[in-house]
Homo-oligomer: A and B are copies of this chain.
Amino acid sequence: MNVAVRIDDLDRDILNALMTDARVPYAEMAKRFNVSPATVHVRVEKMRASQIITGTEVIVNPKLLGYDVCCFIGINLYAARDYHSALEKLNQLDEVVEAYYTTGAYNIFVKLMCHSIEELQHVLINKLQAIKEVQSTETLISLQNPINRNVKP
């Protein structure tokens, strides 16, 4: 099992800053938190080494790339044991951006991004429901995403 890594207030401050903007200069954080740039550097390296920080990425606006439709889909399999093979096939669909193994009403829960409702329909019928392990699906269309943030360190 994973266990939480100990981090202090300075780590937390740095992490918060980097979670808002991964390219803030160390010197700026240093000034803000009253330490030297090198100290910031050391802390970031430590958090990288301990895998608290696993990478960086640019934040893109999916709408401007033409992805207008976002939805969640609950998937039921004929047999729960087919989880792995179903997942492998889901992984090959670019439209599937997130997948969760869940308890409760569904076996797998996925988040899907499409260019249009027509594409969603196509993906649902010809890709998702074409997976032989899939028994049924339930779709939840998102019209808006008013909250989207990270956990508080």
Contacts and interface: CB of A to CB of B under 8 A. Distances in A.
Contacts of A52: 60-61, 64-65
Contact of A152 (B7, B94, B99): B94
A126 interface: no
A149 B55 CA distance: 13
A152 B52 CA distance: 26
Copies in the complex: 2
Interface residues of A, number: 67
A57 interface: yes
A18 interface: yes
Contact of A57 (B18, B50, B63, B90): B18
Contacts of A10: none
Contacts of A153: 60, 65
6 contacts: A5-B64, A22-B22, A52-B65, A103-B143, A105-B138, A109-B140
Contact of A90 (B56, B63, B98, B147): B147
Contacts of A150: 57, 60, 97
